[in-house]
């Protein structure tokens, strides 16, 4: 049965309920807006359902399995450690369900009206929503926030199938593969490749650049490279994937590596070469919204597009495709719509890879700071000199601090090691607050903690380290 169209007037409509959209909707509602949020698939978007959260759950399970097998040097020996992968997936699903259910509850608690369906612009102030039960409704809005996210890029010769997987497909595997080829050595490929390898899979990584994780400093990616090789992961850099032959039981991947074509047999091939913005099926031309050649939406420093009242956030605008960036932009856009004096300030967006060991960076790298004309000083402190890292039996890694030479102002920080994903927050706060190395060094840190590494690195920057020789 098809229900006829009708038009509803609304203050703000948000398209997409991912980490950008649902946060924007809640903040706009908190500021007095009448808000409708439209979602065609799952609350929480890619991040909560087939990205950040399930991948980290899988990584955690993989680490548990590895620790159970490899703790003999701590006097703990376990025999016949096995993996029930169906149980792993069931647990992972329960984590996702709790979070996505929580998002829906939060939207309702903030009186945000939820509409299931697919939105399409019909003019610069109206969208049509094709609902899940065939009904079609129109919404005339004063303001709109587009937060439709992105999807994995499908490369030529590697069409998605039972054996050719995107990150979504890899997270839904029902078995631990014997062999897997991963195309792309960026953060998604490294995280998932590392997790699968932890369960015992023979993993081969093909990366087109000269090093894996090319967005991080070489010394950081080298630590990850070292750990991966300990897990017998084969890494080929300067490798160009050419094609795949599929069968019922596996794949044969062809790749050109430094001028020579090689073939790799595996059960599956995982393709992680980037993501594409979901802007091509929104009818943006009907609203007059401008996009770049890559399909990204052009916005100002409040997230507003060239069309007054239409905003865009997250993976569909320029900048890194990160959930926390989307959430931040969502708050700014919602506040701007509500008349607040809010603008986007990308002074320090943290970047984290849940690799082994973890990598995290915030602010400027040494190279970036010099390129911007700063006279810089760098300081470094090893995890091996930290009591908590020793007690965790996980001492690979370091923290690096980039400061302005004249006054010690903190410009950036990079951390490679256990807990880096949590430790980086302190340095982000330090940069946002305009703190110096002396400020961090004078802050009393609890002992024994990994957090002390920040204090110790700041003391190195001041030329007065305690726990390493000058």
- Supply 374's token pair: 């700063």
Q: Max Cα separation, the chain?
A: 78
Burial 354-371 (b: 16+ CB within 10 A, else e): bbbbbbbbbbbbbeebee
Scan for tokens 């993993």, then name that residue: 203
Which residue in 42, 324, 447, 467 is the catalytic one? 447
- Supply 309's token pair: 């009242």
- Do you find a cis peptide bond into 306, omega within 30 degrees of 0? no
Residue 167, SS3 per DSSP: helix
Q: Which burial class, exposed, middle or buried, applies to 147 when counting CB atoms under 10 A from its CB (0-12, 13-18, 19+)?
A: buried
Q: Which burial class, exposed, middle or buried, applies to 230 when counting CB atoms under 10 A from its CB (0-12, 13-18, 19+)?
A: exposed
Separation CA 197–CA 268 (nearest Å)? 13
Residue 365, SS3 per DSSP: coil
Query: What is the crossing angle of helices 218-230 and 187-198, to 10°?
Result: 20
- Supply 305's token pair: 């597009």
467 catalytic? Reply is no
Give Cα separations from 399 to 329, 357, 359 (angstroms).
28, 12, 10
Give Cα separations from 28 to 56, 114, 332 (angstroms).
30, 14, 10
Q: Which residues sit opposite 222 in a β-bridge?
A: none
Give Cα separations from 139 to 123, 130, 145 (angstroms).
11, 11, 13
Separation CA 119–CA 125 (nearest Å)? 13
Residue 188, SS3 per DSSP: helix
- Catalytic annotation, residues: 447
């Amino acid at each position: 049965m098809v229900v006829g169209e009708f038009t509803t007037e609304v203050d703000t409509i948000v398209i997409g309920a991912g980490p950008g959209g649902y946060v924007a909707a809640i903040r706009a509602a908190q500021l007095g807006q009448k808000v409708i949020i439209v979602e065609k698939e799952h609350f929480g978007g890619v991040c909560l359902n087939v990205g950040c959260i399930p991948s980290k759950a899988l990584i955690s399970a993989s680490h548990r399995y590895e620790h159970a097998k490899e703790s003999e040097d701590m006097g703990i020996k376990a025999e016949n450690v096995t993996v029930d992968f169906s149980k792993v997936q069931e647990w992972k699903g329960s984590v996702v369900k709790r979070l996505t259910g929580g998002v829906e509850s939060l939207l309702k608690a903030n009186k945000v009206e939820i509409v299931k369906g697919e939105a399409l612009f019909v003019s610069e102030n109206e969208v049509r929503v094709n609902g899940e039960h065939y009904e079609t409704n129109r919404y005339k809005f004063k303001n709109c926030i587009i937060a439709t996210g992105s999807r994995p890029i499908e490369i030529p010769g590697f069409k998605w199938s039972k054996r050719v997987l995107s990150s979504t497909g890899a997270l839904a595997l029902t078995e631990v593969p014997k062999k897997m080829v991963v195309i792309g050595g960026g953060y998604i490929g490294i995280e998932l490749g590392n997790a699968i390898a932890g369960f015992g899979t023979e993993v081969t990584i093909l990366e087109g650049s000269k090093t894996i994780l090319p967005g991080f400093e070489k010394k950081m990616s080298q630590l990850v490279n070292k750990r991966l090789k300990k897990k017998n992961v084969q890494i080929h850099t300067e490798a160009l994937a050419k094609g795949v032959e599929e069968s019922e039981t596996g794949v044969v991947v062809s790749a050109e590596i430094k001028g020579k074509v090689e073939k790799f047999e595996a059960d599956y091939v995982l393709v992680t070469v980037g993501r594409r913005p979901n802007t091509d099926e929104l009818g943006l031309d009907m609203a007059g919204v401008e996009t770049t050649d890559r399909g990204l939406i052009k916005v100002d420093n409040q997230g507003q597009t060239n069309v007054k009242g239409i905003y865009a956030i997250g993976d569909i605008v320029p900048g890194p495709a990160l959930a926390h960036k989307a959430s931040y932009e969502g708050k700014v856009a919602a506040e701007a719509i509500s008349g607040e004096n809010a603008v986007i300030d990308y002074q320090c967006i943290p970047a984290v890879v849940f690799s082994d060991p973890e990598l995290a960076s915030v602010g400027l790298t040494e190279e970036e700071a010099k390129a911007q004309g700063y006279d810089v000083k760098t300081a470094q402190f090893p995890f091996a000199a930290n009591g908590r890292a020793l007690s965790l039996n996980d001492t690979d890694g370091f923290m690096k601090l980039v400061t302005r030479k004249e006054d010690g102002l903190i410009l950036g920080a990079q951390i490679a090691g256990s807990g880096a994903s949590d430790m980086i927050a302190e340095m982000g706060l330090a940069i946002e607050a305009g703190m110096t190395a002396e400020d961090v060094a004078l802050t009393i840190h609890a002992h024994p903690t990994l957090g002390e590494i920040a204090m110790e690195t700041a003391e190195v920057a001041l030329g007065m380290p305690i726990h390493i020789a000058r």
